[in-house]
């Protein structure tokens, strides 16, 4: 999940307002306005000016870290989120943002710890739970990733992405029966979800459910035809459908 400017934190600091000079607040507010106007470089300059005047300005550190994330400067993003968390370790959003940064830096141990701390503060945040599940997968902890996606589904039964990602995990484990169930749920919730249709077809074929594979491939072809990014797979699917039908007729 990618952090964007629309996710930049604009919250009231828990640090007493008296500790933040008015001049720093002026720069902070200018940074917020620039962020909302998608003027990233202007926003960065304003937040840096606010921090220069008030090094303990937690919200400025959080927002600045998020913007550096947008620019792809993960080192600076991490630096500012760590500064924010030293000032106040009770912000679920700050821990979540830090987790995203660390995951992007492939610092999976740090990312997992950050997401877990965020969820301790905001236990029902489905977005953070999804990020934690993804980080577990990236860290090659597939069992924990499966468990986390299952936890998401218990909270949000209509979360088709959780089912789809769960299907991918099961497929990686060569557990085609469970992968099929997960992909089918994703398609049931979102019938036009092309990725799930395609992976469902592959899983059914691997499970030797050939009639089911034909139906899934055809559903994929129906939804994906005309979409340039899927043109190669559509042609391959048509060929697979033809081959399976010919094989079934020969039996």
Domains defined for the chain, CATH in brackets: 1-88 (1.25.40.10)
Asked whether the predicted pLDDT for residue 15 surpasses 70, the reply is no
Burial track 210-235 (b if 16+ CB lie within 10 A, e otherwise) = eebbbebbebbbebbeeeeebeebbe
Is the pLDDT at 197 greater than 60? The verdict is yes
d(CA 45, CA 30): 10
pLDDT tens readout for residues 126-153: 999 999 999 999 999 999 999 999 999 9
Reported as a pLDDT band with limits 50, 70 and 90, residue 8 is very low
- pLDDT (tens digit per residue) in 222-249: 999 999 999 999 999 999 999 999 999 9
Binning pLDDT at 50, 70 and 90, where does residue 105 land? confident
Radius of gyration of the chain (CA): 23
User: Residue 1: its pLDDT value, please?
Assistant: 38
User: Which two tokens mark 142?
Assistant: 């597939």
What are the DSSP calls for 132-161, one per residue? Answer: HHHHHHHTT-HHHHHHHHHHHHHH-TT-HH
Judging by beta carbons within 10 Å of its beta carbon (0-12, 13-18, 19+), is residue 177 exposed, middle or buried?
Answer: exposed
- Please check the confidence at residue 181 and state whether its pLDDT lies above 60: yes
Confidence of residue 183 (pLDDT cuts 50, 70, 90): very high
**Would the pTM of this model clear 0.85, i.e. be above it?**
no
Residue 251: pLDDT band (50, 70, 90) is confident
Burial of 47 (0-12, 13-18, 19+ CB in 10 A): buried
pLDDT band per the 50, 70, 90 thresholds, residue 61: very high
Q: Output the pLDDT for position 9.
A: 46
175 SS3 class = coil
């Amino acid at each position: 999940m990618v952090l964007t400017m629309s996710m930049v934190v604009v919250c009231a600091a828990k640090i007493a307002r008296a500790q933040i000079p008015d001049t720093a607040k002026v720069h902070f507010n200018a940074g917020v306005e620039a962020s909302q106007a998608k003027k990233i470089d202007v926003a960065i300059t304003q937040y840096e000016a606010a921090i220069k005047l008030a090094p303990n300005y937690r919200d400025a550190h959080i927002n600045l870290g998020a913007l550096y994330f947008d620019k792809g400067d993960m080192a600076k993003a991490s630096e500012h989120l760590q500064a924010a968390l030293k000032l106040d370790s009770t912000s679920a959003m700050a821990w979540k943002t830090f987790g995203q940064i660390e995951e992007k830096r492939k610092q999976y141990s740090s990312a997992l710890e950050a997401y877990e701390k965020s969820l301790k503060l905001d236990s029902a945040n489905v977005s953070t739970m999804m990020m934690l599940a993804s980080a577990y997968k990236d860290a090659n902890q597939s069992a924990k990733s499966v468990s986390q996606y299952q936890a998401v589904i218990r909270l949000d039964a209509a979360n088709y992405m959780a089912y789809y990602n769960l299907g991918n995990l099961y497929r990686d484990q060569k557990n085609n029966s469970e992968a099929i169930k997960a992909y089918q749920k994703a398609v049931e919730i979102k019938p036009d979800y092309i990725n799930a249709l395609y992976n469902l077809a592959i899983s059914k074929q691997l499970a030797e459910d050939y009639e089911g594979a034909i139906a899934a491939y055809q559903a994929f072809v129906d939804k994906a035809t005309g979409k340039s990014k899927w043109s190669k797979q559509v042609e391959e699917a048509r060929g697979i459908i033809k081959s399976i039908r010919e094989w079934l007729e020969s039996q």
